[in-house]
A and B are shown apart, each in its own frame.
Chain A
Amino acid sequence: MDVIQDIIVYYSQNAGYVWEQFYRHFLMSAYGVLFAAIVAIPLGILIARHHKLSTWVISLANIIQTIPALAMLAVLMLVMGLGTNTVVFSLFLYSLLPIIKNTYTGIRNVDHALLESGKAMGMTKFQVLRMVELPLAMSVIMAGLRTALVITIGIATIGTFIGAGGLGDIILRGTNATDGTAIILAGAIPTALMAVIADIVMGYLEKKLSPNKKRKCTQHQQQAT
């Protein structure tokens, strides 16, 4: 019970600071995923077209994923120096795999008949991509972004070791303090909360974008009329 009271005291004394770090933490994760999406979605589409490339690209992304986060940060730090940009870059690397894989799977799983009918209607390749493939694959791609965001929120915590700030700062300070249990929890709880909320929000978006649901909706509307 004491710990809970300590946490409350901590938040009341440092509310502004915690919010600042929370925001910073979220921005780092979001930028990492955003940049990864800019690169990985086109790459996923590309390897879905050129099947032979896919094994290479996916195994490369797999290899990146296996590097321990602390080692990745340390190596990147030597090249890019201290600070947030290094963390954002490493989060970018960790986000690549889930997004590439999901984009690839999503595009590959689009029903062949639909592609053919699109072509038969005289659509160009780009139109088929934009009007048929992407909408149908969107929920799977969103699932990739969702996984990536949850991963990066976790990894961003260790950004504190290279001076990037974020909620990891609070946790690390707790480990240095004499009786830091409350401080550690005060940093860990918002981190976990952020990951859970991100997961729920992205899950909601994923459902919204799911083609099955849309079809059901239109069916309902048709029945209603």
Chain B
Amino acid sequence: MKKKNSFVLILTVAFTMLLSGCSLPGLSGPAKNTVAVGTLGTSESQIMGNIVRLMIEHYSDAQVEMVNNLGSSIVQHQAMLNGDIDISATRYTGTDLAGALAMEPEKDPEKALEIVQREFQEQFDQTWFDSYGFANSYAFTVTSELAEKHNLETVSDLEPLVDDLKLGVDNSWLKRKGDGYEGFVAEYGFEFGETFPMQVGLVYQAAANGKMDVVLAYTTDGRIKAFDLKVLEDDKRFFPPYDTSLVARNDVLKQHPELEDILQKLSGKISTEKMQELNYEADGKMKEPSVIAKEFLEEHDYFE
């Protein structure tokens, strides 16, 4: 009978461990002293998440647990509210103004940042950090050749040529309300000769091959650099700003008081061009985000 009792004991211990959310040896779980960092499925988000993880591990004793591949900003937001994750690695001002806060879009990047910082503090008890220094927004992009030939710097510079230009865009953008094509025509006052909806991943190649003259790209995509494309400045500020920051729950910052200083070190450190490079390492050169993050931080000496 003694054996049976010890059996029951092992069973209960194992189960309470599993259900109470204790971590199993070898698998770090969401235990009390770990900080969970959530990322999206994109390379960019995972690179930033790993940079955050390595920074925390480098400067403090806290354990960090990565929760990768969350579906969208809204999922990240829910996970933050539930306490499944403590830090979201990448949050974009434009996305969360419209998503989590359900507010009107704000075109001025500084004002937008101010609003999300204030509202997240008040509504969700979360701290929205200053931007990393890059923004992942939509941008009209042309080949460097075309830009040089016609001396293109801003979107307005396209106007005289516009009738002969072929525009390659994301499937959904043409019909989207607000910052879609209709809104664009109203704001800039011209239409492109022809428009070709396609998957957003294909527009870079299409521009590089000369199949398209102008494409609507994501500004941090590594292929902009790799294919030698030029991003035109959105001179009328048509697209809402998508400045990227990390967001942390206030109770975690209280629990680990050193975190705030550590994370603050990252603000303003990564330019859009740098992010293009890092993204290309992942998408073009098949490096894992964790490897890229480590190399990047070692190169910069962990922003000592």
Contact = CB atoms under 8 A, between A and B. Distances in A.
Interface of A: 6, 9-10, 13-14, 16-18, 23-24, 27-28, 31, 35, 38-39, 42, 80-85, 88-89, 92, 126, 160-161, 163, 165, 169-170, 172-173, 176-178, 182-183
Nearest to B221: A178
A160 B27 contact: no
Q: Is the interface of A mostly helix, strand, loop or mixed?
A: helix
Contacts of A9: 286
A17 B286 CA distance: 13
A14 B29 contact: no
B297 interface: no
B31 to A, nearest CB: 10
Contact of A13 (B85, B201, B288): B288
B170 interface: no
Interface in B67-114: 67-70, 79, 82-85
Interface centre among B21, B24, B69, B285 (most CB of A within 10 A): B69
Nearest to A85: B29
A9 B287 CA distance: 9
A153 B156 CA distance: 56
A83 B30 contact: yes
Interface of B: 3, 7, 10-11, 14-15, 18-19, 21, 23-24, 26-30, 36, 38, 41-43, 46, 65-70, 79, 82-85, 201, 223, 282-291
Nearest to A89: B18
B30 A81 contact: yes
A163 B38 contact: yes
B24 A84 contact: yes
Contact of A183 (B38, B82, B286): B286
Contacts of A163: 38, 66-70
Contacts of B290: 17
B29 A83 contact: yes
A10 B286 contact: yes
A83 B43 contact: no
Given A27-B26, A81-B82, A163-B70, A38 B11 contact: yes
A216 B42 CA distance: 59
B68 A165 contact: yes
A88 B18 contact: yes
A88 B38 contact: no
Given A39-B11, A83-B84, A160-B69, A176 B42 contact: yes
B62 to A, nearest CB: 17
